[in-house]
Amino acid sequence: MFETVRTVLCLAKYYFKSRPMLRKAWKKSEQERWQDLYEFQIPLSRDLMAATGSRIVYHGLENIPEKEPWELGYLMVGNHQSYLDIPTLMCIFDRPTGFVAKSELGKTIFVKDIIGANGSLLMVQQDIRQSVKVIRQTSEHLKKGLNMVIFPEGARSMTTNEMGEFKRGALKAAISVGAEIIPFRFDNLYAVLEGNGKLKVTPRQVDVYFGVPIPTAGLSKEEQWALADKVKETIINLK
């Protein structure tokens, strides 16, 4: 119970801190706004994960490329376990990063304001036309130098480390601009929040694995088609 209260209080603190920051950020250029949100989200994410009392262990950080500011971004692709996926990743990012998330998150207080400003995109999964548009927008963000994260499962596993259905279209954002794909895998993150059947925070050890970048530039049609299976297999076997 203590960790749950501490986590809620952390979110409340940053919600109120976000109001003046967001008002100023929306008056700036797109890249300046993304930078401001990045600088806001880093301490938020670290404080939030610390509030859960969990021990987060990152493996393979050396596999994440170092890039110049606003150089072509990379697409991070991994399994989807929890509402805490995004802050767990944000803790270690060294440049602005956006996420492709379900449209339902756009209805969540605080989250919807952050998503609207940091370059993240909301996808309506049942709307094919809108989903294609979001993939194209993701490509544009990558070209502008924003790293992007996408979860090809489309839904949280919540009670298991097993991956669900892997949607091939998620990788088109990287293929179309020749961006590298960084595979990652969460292990046991679901157990911190959703795994107990209720929104109660339970401290756990969580492992996050990052794999070697997978190039997409210059792939043949056959290689593009096989890429989804390659990426999924890589994610499953990360350890």
Q: Write down the CATH number for the domain with range 2-237.
A: 3.40.1130.10
Q: What is the DSSP letter of 141?
A: H
Query: Is the pTM for the entire model greater than 0.85?
Result: yes
Would you say how long the chain is, in residues?
Answer: 239
- Whether the CB-CB separation of 78 and 184 falls below 8 Å is answered with yes
The residue type at 167: K
- Whether the CB-CB separation of 230 and 214 falls below 8 Å is answered with yes
**Which of the residues in the chain have pLDDT under 70?**
154-160, 197
End-to-end CA distance of the chain, in Å? 31
For position 159, what pLDDT does the model report? 64
- Whether the CB-CB separation of 153 and 165 falls below 8 Å is answered with yes
For position 163, what pLDDT does the model report? 80
Helix runs in the chain, H state only? 2-25, 30-51, 85-90, 111-117, 128-143, 172-175, 221-237
Q: Which has the closest alpha carbon to 211: 194, 188, 234?
A: 234
Q: With b meaning 16 or more CB within 10 Å and e meaning fewer, what string describes 125-143?
A: eeeeeebeebbebbbebbe
Tell me the two tokens of residue 22. Answer: 């967001």
Query: Tell me: the pLDDT tens digits for 164-186?
Result: 778 888 999 999 999 999 999 99
Tell me the two tokens of residue 234. Answer: 């890589």
Q: With b meaning 16 or more CB within 10 Å and e meaning fewer, what string describes 200-211?
A: ebeebebbbbbb
Provide the residue ranges of all domains of the chain, joining segments of one domain with +.
Answer: 2-237
- Whether the CB-CB separation of 162 and 232 falls below 8 Å is answered with no
